[in-house]
Amino acid sequence: MLVDRVVAQLIARLKSNNPDASWQAVNALAQIGLPAVPALITTLEESRYRVRLGAVEALHKIGHCAVPALTQAIQGGDEAVRTSVIEVLLKSGDVRAIPALAGALEDESSIVRQRAVEALGAIGVPAVPTLIEALQNSHYGVYRNVAKVLGEIKDARAVPALIDKLRCTGGRVQKSMVVALGEIGDARAVPVLLETLTKGEEALRPSIIEALIQIGDARTVPALTESLEKSTPEMCLRILELLGEIGD
């Protein structure tokens, strides 16, 4: 077919050493649209980063009609291909990618897993149930990054799961949960944060105090007042400002 020959010619130009010709090919392939998607996905296997970047950009320009093929491509190819595919899905923010991205959270590559979390975060609120479930993922880097994303989305549905994870983990993982709970700002987190403040590691104190300040609940007053003696001047100022607001 004529369109197949045109796509093949444009892919060859995309792979050329002439940057101008490559970017002209990107735009032309984007205009062709869906018929160019399979060839562009294959081009993601190219070893040269510039060529892969051009293919990613073309797929991004093609838009939502490329998503079904991209979600299939996550399941195959090498790490660079899977990462590049997720990069396109991240830019698209398309909810149809959620199941495939959820599967990518179990990928053997930590880079792919991290990018999948970021792509789910870019989708936002529709991805929250999947992100909540991912807090039970077996990979430390996944659930730590998931907590960060949930904090950025600020969806209160995540609070119970974050509280449970805070109670059953320690160290750096606890810090991720504490920070997320502070960013969401839901008062349901106050009891567990106060409990962790008294029983947790000393290194967690600044993060817990910051989270309590962000939530701004009157129940935090005794603990924050007591924390003044152990806090930095900057943190003391923030605590005093909050105590003044609560007092008013």
Q: Is a pLDDT exceeding 70 seen at residue 160?
A: yes
In contact, 131 and 142? CB cutoff 8 Å: no
Model pTM score: 0.85
Q: Compute the distance between CA of residue 78 and CA of residue 101 in angstroms, rounded to an integer.
A: 16
Chain length of the chain: 248
- Residue showing tokens 């077996």: 138
Q: In angstroms, what CA-CA distances link 102 with 64, 154, 218, 237?
A: 19, 20, 38, 42
Q: Is a pLDDT exceeding 80 seen at residue 201?
A: no
Q: Is a pLDDT exceeding 90 seen at residue 165?
A: yes
Run of H or E including 40 = helix 37-43
pLDDT band of 247, cuts 50, 70, 90: low
Q: Residue 173, CB half-sphere, CA atoms under 13 Å: how many?
A: 18
